[in-house]
Each structure stands twice: as C-alpha cells, then as structure tokens.
Amino acid sequence: MPLSYGFLSTYPPTQCGLATFTAALREQLAHLGSGAVGGVVRLLDSSAGPARPRRAPTEVVGDLVAGTRGGPQLAARLLNSFDVAVVQHEYGIYGGRDGDEVLEVLHHLAGPTVVVVHTVLVHPTGHQRHVLEAVAAAADAVVVMTETARVRLVAGYQVDAHRVSVIPHGAADNRTAVPARVGRPTVLTWGLIGPGKGIEWGIAAVAALTDLEPVPRYLVAGETHPKVLAREGEAYRDSLVALARRLGVSGSVAFDGRYLDAVALGELVRGADVVLLPYDSRDQVTSGVLIEAVAALKPIVATRFPHAVELLGDGTGILVPHGDSAAIAAAVRSIVTDDGVAGGLARATAARAPELLWPAVARRYQRLAAELVARAGDRTTSRPVAATR
C-alpha cells in the first residue's frame, strides 16, 4: 500500500520557493504512489491580513497561522493522520523568535518525521543555532540539498550525522536540444527580486557588451519578493531601471514583473541563451533556480556562492567572482560568440540533469520515508537511517 505524506510548508498560491518546492514534491510523490499521497498543512504569515490566501487547494487540510494559540498542536494532529510528516524548515516561515514555533509542532508529532532544511547559516546567533539543533534532534531524518549544506550542518551544529541525507532540490524536465543561434541572444535572470540578487552587476555587464552585434538582451523575470515589497516597495527595481538608463542600455535590459506559472516559466527558460545568477550571497547553499537552469541544459554563468561552486565547479557552468561585472561580461561574451563554448556547457549540463529531475528526486524521498516507516515499530532501539548520498 502506498505511503501517505503530510507536508508542513508554505504552499501555493503563496509565492515563495518553499511553496513551489512542496507543491512539486507532493505532485511527484503522488505519481509514484498512485495518487494516494496525503495533504498539506499550509503555513501562513499572521501579518498578511486580508492579503492572506483565502481559497485553499483541495490538498490543503489545514492552516498554521504564525502565532496562533493552539495552532502548532492542531497542525501536529493533522500531520499525525499520515504515515510520514515532511516538514520544511526555514527560520522565517514559522512564528516565534527565529521561527521556534516549529519546535512545538515537532514535539507533538507521533509518526516518522523528515525535516527538509533549506538554510544552514555559517554564523548563526545562539538562538538560531538552538532552534536548528532542536529541529534536527526532533526529526527521524534531516534532508539537505547539497553536500556543502551537509558538511556545514554536521561541522557547525550539534547534529547526528547519521540522520542527515543529501537529496537535491528537484526540477521539472525542461530539456530541449540546443537550438541553432538565431537573432539577438537572451541572457536570463529569474526569481523573486530584491536586494542581494546582484542584478545590477548583470546590467553593468550588458554595458560592456555594446560592441557586439546584436547586443545581448538581458531579461529579468519575476515579481519583487513580497517581504521586500512590504518593506521597501519597488525601490530596488526602480534603482535597476535607473541604472540601465544611466549606463545607456535601457533598450537592452527588460523587466517582466509577472509571477509566472510553471508552463510560462518553462517557455521563458527554454528561450534563453544564457542563464545568469549574479547573486551577492556568499552563503547560499541551495538555489532552485540553479537546479532548474541545469535541468533545462542551459549555459550558466554564476557567482561563486556555495551551491554554484558545488554544482558548476567541474565545468558544468562558468563561475565568476562576486560583484565583478567585467568577469560576467567576459563569460557571457564567450558563450554568445562561440558555439563551441555554448555547446560544451550544454553537454555538461545534460550529463548532470537526470539526477536532478523531480521523478528521480521523489524516488529518493520515497525510499527514505519507507525506511523510516519500516523502523517505526521499534523507535526506541532502532538506529538512525543512514545518510542517502
């Protein structure tokens, strides 16, 4: 009989990476389990007020609104009706200080629990460290998405290494043959927009490519991150538009501020000649955009954040220093002017893509969950599940 899964996470129509991740994983596990997969307890921000999603998809069995009295216990009761609980962890999605409300949920869970850790800080505060260590201790298995995150978690926190598994993020199958180069090349950056994305470096790089004919088009796709929008409005996006104007490349930089569904985003990515991830972060251990770009077999230029170094460092993409528009321009130039470079990068991503596609990723979660359920009959004496690598 297929296992049933209870997910605790943000969830569509909430627009964030964890929501998209959970929806995709739930759907893939449903395919593997003949549709009998279970439901979602959806995390909501108490500050969202009237903007909070009111209409829930049918698979949502309940909501946990941050800071609601009795909410964690109710969430746990709902999750306990499934064979396995799959809990997403990010500090900012739960109530309490550093999201410590999640600990009360975990305390009341009765069955096997998988916690998916999306952020492992190098320099956490004392309380952030306490929260993550307590989350890991309460879980039967902890999943991180990169080897970098596993090493960081085991070395920097009091966590049982035997409970930690590495399972990649997962991506839709957006693979297409590399088309012959026709017309103006497109360099694409996408995702929720806000300071730290480094888009200003991409715009400055375009200004260094104006000698090319045609000049590459830099397309920035995605809405402003909701929390950035609430705090700062469109100040960052407006600054990018002003920068493009000041550098004389307004005609070569375009912004698509829509939130695109999976189909529309897939078409956008397929049409790109280069995917650019110019992020300022030096700590980012997981990037869904990076995984999706590899799965689409695209030539990738990325700054040296940890996930990019791990995934692209063998030549699967081109790594550049942070904040270096000249290096970005040189990398883009090599791809859009040399079919050999573009083809070689596409072949490299093609070799990596199969292990990153959602069916392969979901099967690894399925195997991990089955191991946990098999051991659940004797929880006090069984050893932790060995790491899946």
Closest C-alpha to 217, from 253, 265, 269, 256: 253
Q: Which domains, and CATH codes, for the chain?
A: 5-170+357-378 (3.40.50.2000), 186-354 (3.40.50.2000)
Render pLDDT for 182-233 as a digit per residue (tens, 0 to 9). 679 999 999 989 999 999 999 999 999 999 999 999 999 999 988 899 899 9
* Model pLDDT, residue 85: 97
* Model pLDDT, residue 262: 81
For residue 126, what pLDDT band results from cuts at 50, 70 and 90? very high
Render pLDDT for 146-193 as a digit per residue (tens, 0 to 9). 999 999 999 999 999 999 999 999 998 887 755 556 679 999 999 989
Tell me what the mean pLDDT of segment 18-23 comes to: 92
Tell me what the mean pLDDT of segment 5-21 comes to: 91
For residue 383, what pLDDT band results from cuts at 50, 70 and 90? very low
Show the 3-state SS of 326-355: HHHHHHHHHHHHCHHHHHHHHHHHHHHHHH
The chain-wide mean pLDDT, for the chain, equals: 90
Between the alpha carbon of residue 34 and those of residues 28, 230, 371, 389, the distances in Å are: 10, 41, 19, 26
64, 44 contact by CB (below 8 A): yes
Tell me what the mean pLDDT of segment 71-94 comes to: 96
* Model pLDDT, residue 16: 83
The pair of structure tokens assigned to 139 is: 């879980």
Counting residues of the chain whose pLDDT is more than 70, the rounded percentage is 92
For residue 339, what pLDDT band results from cuts at 50, 70 and 90? very high
* Model pLDDT, residue 120: 93
d(CA 384, CA 375): 9
* Model pLDDT, residue 175: 78
User: Helix, strand or coil for residue 290?
Assistant: helix
Render pLDDT for 235-275 as a digit per residue (tens, 0 to 9). 999 999 999 999 999 999 999 998 888 888 889 999 999 99
* Model pLDDT, residue 56: 72
* Model pLDDT, residue 1: 74
For residue 82, what pLDDT band results from cuts at 50, 70 and 90? very high
Contacts of 299 (CB under 8 A, 6+ apart): 273, 274, 275, 317, 318, 335, 341, 342, 345, 346, 349
pLDDT at position 129 over 80:
yes
d(CA 171, CA 207): 32
User: Does an H or E element contain 367, and which?
Assistant: helix 358-375
Report pTM.
0.84
d(CA 39, CA 90): 20
d(CA 58, CA 11): 12
Beta bridge partners of 115: 87, 142
d(CA 85, CA 42): 13
pLDDT at position 384 over 70:
no
* Model pLDDT, residue 14: 85
* Model pLDDT, residue 36: 61
* Model pLDDT, residue 177: 59
Closest C-alpha to 253, from 189, 315, 195: 189
Please give the sequence-ordered ranges of beta strands (E in DSSP) within the chain, or none if there are none: 5-9, 38-44, 60-65, 84-89, 113-117, 141-144, 164-166, 186-190, 217-221, 253-256, 274-277, 300-303, 318-320
C-alpha 365, offset from chain centre: 16
